[in-house]
Amino acid sequence: MKLRVLGCSGGIGGRHLRTTSLLVDHDILIDAGTGVADLSIGELAVIDHVFLTHSHLDHIASLPLMIDTVADRRHTPLTVYGSAAVLDILRRHIFNWAIWPDFAEVPNADTPLMRYQAIELGQVITLDGRRITALPAEHTVPAVGYHLDSGAASLVFSGDTGICDPFWHAVNRVANLKHLIIECAFSNREQRLAELSKHLCPDMLAAELQKLERACEIHITHLKPGQIELTMEEIERCLGNFKPRMLQNNQVLEF
């Protein structure tokens, strides 16, 4: 499997800051933040599956526009995966005809442009031999992370999460773990805000990584604009032994 980073920032601003969106091979999206907007219409049209970690705008912003853009190019519905709670939020607050058309009923309910598929924690979705599993996460809204397994190796993405022991229990069961993408939204000076918003800061992440029992490459995501340099300096100081790297737009991870 090949994962291309379309967006990995905790906000926007400047030419290179895009919010969370990860393209797996050519046909799977993990989250649909503003980074999706950089894809061509042809690239958008071949995406068949979107796995959402949670419903916050920075992770779903491009989804409504993407579906509308490629409607005339698709012959099968786009499948949107998420927890039952996340899908219910999308139905009630986004695809509700007031904010955006309900593409689960367009052109009609029998042949829609989009369909929802609820997933539960630990449930494995297999797509052409690629296994995608929802993992626990702890955020201010219902949220999950994802484990992607090619058969040869695995990648785990935390999504947005604060302190979450069940997440690490699940990660430690991944025998072929190669990549871990983990959030660190705030600098240490904003630890209280990180705690309230159920994100991580470097000191919190350092404590969380003590729970990791697998050797893997660690990639830091969701850094807040304006604090990128400070946060990465703090990460280097307290996490240097883990050799973490800041995730970058257009970076490609293979596994």
pLDDT of residue 178: 98
Cβ contacts of 199 within 8 Å, gap of 6 or more? 139, 160, 161, 162, 183, 184, 185, 186, 193, 222
Is the pLDDT at 225 greater than 90? The verdict is: yes
Is the pLDDT at 240 greater than 90? The verdict is: no
Task: Report residue 132 CA to chain centroid gap.
Answer: 12
Q: Which fold has domain 2-254?
A: Metallo-beta-lactamase; Chain A (3.60.15)
pLDDT in tens, 14-41: 778 999 999 999 999 999 999 999 999 9
Q: What is the mean pLDDT of residues 150-166?
A: 98
pLDDT in tens, 82-119: 999 999 999 999 999 999 999 999 999 999 999 999 99
pLDDT band at 43 (very low <50, low <70, confident <90, very high): very high
Distance CA 68, CA 173 (A): 39
Is the pLDDT at 171 greater than 90? The verdict is: yes
DSSP conformational letter for 176: T
pLDDT of residue 14: 78
Q: Are strands 217-221 and 245-246 parallel, antiparallel or unpaired?
A: parallel
- Looking at the chain, the whole-number percentage of residues with pLDDT higher than 70 is 100
Answer for the pair 222, 196: CB distance below 8 angstroms, yes or no. Answer: no
Structure tokens at 48: 């068949």
Element (H, E) at 234: helix 228-239
Please calculate the CA angle 160-135-125 and round it to the nearest 5 degrees: 120
What's the one-letter identity of residue 23?
A: L
Is the pLDDT at 248 greater than 90? The verdict is: yes
pLDDT of residue 47: 98
